[in-house]
Structure 1
């Protein structure tokens, strides 16, 4: 299978500053870099688009906050975009419900997570959401891109066959100068936005840990926290390959993640079992014992995560390789790791 016929790509991007929009900007930047013309269309509460005269027409200017946040990716956000049979429209899963409005061109869904599809509908995985899901998965010409092996397997279980691997990559703000040893302080940081109930229960039962919830920090602030605090714990539900564990690992933290969904998939998070915990582990004292051991012997625990850190450092190379392969673009004559 190949996407080489599509020499123009248009990606619909939510107007937020989170992992999903950053991945979308990374893809647009990569495609333009390898010679495939790629534009973005911002979609949000006040950003709409209409189709007229063979063109996508943005009804309002692009969101200034998103443009500023991802300026490094040099996004192309024109007011009008001609669309024809050689154009591929890509929707992140949270906007997948829009796909039925577009025919006469290629249409794809990029599954950056699973949960966001249902969240965008205002429903969990129940009967109402399943009706929309069947409509999306039942479209015969719809192309499916997956960010994680977990998403790939989820789609396969539901009969999807036209699948393309397309991961994202950890920002070079974290990978350009990776840590060479574990961070000095035995303190902990943890995801304050996902898995907060389990995190609250765990730290209430274990007040001996100096733990900082991460919410609302800039990249620079996150990097400084990870470089100072030795351990990062993620209690989240892992609907895809979440970014914080990867950013923490290459910045100097020893990472522990919740064994759930993508977090339970070794291909997505190649960590030894020691560093993956269940809810029962968090509540029984098993996780507390593992964290204490990592605080006491950081060198051994850091060494055990070398494979994971190496994978993160090569994500950008893999991402560009995937884009070239899918769009039929020859690799450069002198391969190198763009992350370094």
Structure 2
């Protein structure tokens, strides 16, 4: 594929899980002999400085954007750009965070399904794969990511935790996610030291996790998050809830009965307290029970390279099947559907406003008509 260029949309200068995945993809494509560049479609960030943390991936930034015939990879938070490039480029959605799409996308999922049937949908997690399948989106490909190799190297230098029952066990937490639930736990654990993973460099995070016994994550797990994997790799016992990607045994393959808590239940913190108190006397045993998870993390880079190879091969096939005429007609359908959806949402908003000031008897006929409109739209 010497003539094909992969343009990967990525916010420049951001240091979070998503941008690192996008850097990893560009690095892997280039390493396999194809050509890939990063591109930030937001003009206001054109002068932003690329994140130093990702310099090791050796990525090149392109300021001009996709040219006709390029393959364009959009993270799910940038799907609103697809209509602009769809007729001249093969477009890919990489589902890194399902929850971010739900909360921020300007392109409804039904429009993606009906107007762009030949998009390639890559999923970073089992959670994302289930979402794609539930919404009947075609052309699915696995495209995960891997834990930064600095953690792999650092982990190889560590010794296993000593099973010292008298030592004070440290619980590492990420206060940026699910802290309203984590705070409940903190108040119930006066004997525990909680270490916040915030405002830290990568070496500082590694040292913090290496000094911790547990890693507690009560966030929403919108994808296969990095912190749980980094913590597991550095010999923390990982404890999570059952939200998002944590609610399956593929993204976080740890015993649900032993290491995962349903934090939607009243009093969940008491159950967690009981579990951790028991684990304090069996640190090494519980670490060993998560060895499968650690081994899987160690092997991520190899799996990712294999997935990228299949991704490139699939792109070759898809390029040969592109029909520009059909794509232009689908764009017309897109415009119609977006108009209908906007009218629907406007009607819903008007009804919501009327409900605040009108009785049920007055709004009931309006609700009936609105439901009728919604059913007509579906069919």
TM-score band, normalised by shorter chain: 0.7 to 0.9
Deviates more, 1:254-263 or 1:19-28: 254-263
Match for 2:7 among 6, 10, 13?
Answer: 10
> Where does residue 90 of structure 2 map in the other structure?
106
> Where does residue 37 of structure 1 map in the other structure?
35
**What is the CA-CA distance between 1:206 and the residue it aligns to?**
2.3
Does the 8 Å contact 1:97/1:136 carry over to 2? no
> Where does residue 235 of structure 2 map in the other structure?
252
Match for 2:290 among 293, 302, 305?
Answer: 305
Higher-Rg structure is 2
> Where does residue 169 of structure 1 map in the other structure?
146
Change (3 A) 1:44 1:220: farther
CA RMSD of aligned residues (A): 2.1
* Correspondence list, 1:213-224, <5 A: 213-224=196-207
TM-score by length of 1: 0.84
TM-score by length of 2: 0.75
Distance, in Å, in 2 between the alignment partners of 1:69 and 1:326 is 26
Change (3 A) 1:70 1:43: farther
Match for 1:132 among 98, 108, 133?
Answer: 108
Does the 8 Å contact 2:39/2:65 carry over to 1? no
**What is the CA-CA distance between 1:39 and the residue it aligns to?**
0.6
Distance, in Å, in 2 between the alignment partners of 1:105 and 1:262 is 31
Query: In structure 2, the residue corresponding to 1:211 is in which secondary structure?
Result: strand
Distance, in Å, in 2 between the alignment partners of 1:43 and 1:80 is 9
Higher helix share: 2
Match for 1:192 among 141, 158, 175?
Answer: 175
Does the 8 Å contact 1:145/1:163 carry over to 2? yes
Distance, in Å, in 2 between the alignment partners of 1:298 and 1:70 is 34
Query: In structure 2, the residue corresponding to 1:150 is in which secondary structure?
Result: helix
Distance, in Å, in 1 between the alignment partners of 2:97 and 2:313 is 26
Q: Report whether the alignment pairs 1:275 with 2:263.
A: no
Alignment length (residue pairs): 303
> Where does residue 316 of structure 1 map in the other structure?
301
Unaligned runs of 5+ in 1: 48-59, 122-128, 330-340
**What is the CA-CA distance between 1:325 and the residue it aligns to?**
1.9
Does the 8 Å contact 2:66/2:72 carry over to 1? no
Query: In structure 2, the residue corresponding to 1:290 is in which secondary structure?
Result: helix
| Higher RCO (Cα < 8 Å, 6 or more apart) | 1
User: How big is each residue's C-alpha offset from its partner over 1:253-311, in whole Å with a ceiling of 9 and x where there is no partner?
Assistant: 11111111210111111111211111138635111111222222111011000000000
Q: Report whether the alignment pairs 1:261 with 2:244.
A: yes
User: How big is each residue's C-alpha offset from its partner over 1:34-68, in whole Å with a ceiling of 9 and x where there is no partner?
Assistant: 01100111244713xxxxxxxxxxxx34x21x342
Match for 1:182 among 142, 152, 161?
Answer: 161
Does the 8 Å contact 2:188/2:269 carry over to 1? no
Query: In structure 2, the residue corresponding to 1:200 is in which secondary structure?
Result: helix
Distance, in Å, in 1 between the alignment partners of 2:113 and 2:280 is 46
Distance, in Å, in 1 between the alignment partners of 2:151 and 2:266 is 30
Unaligned runs of 5+ in 2: 315-379
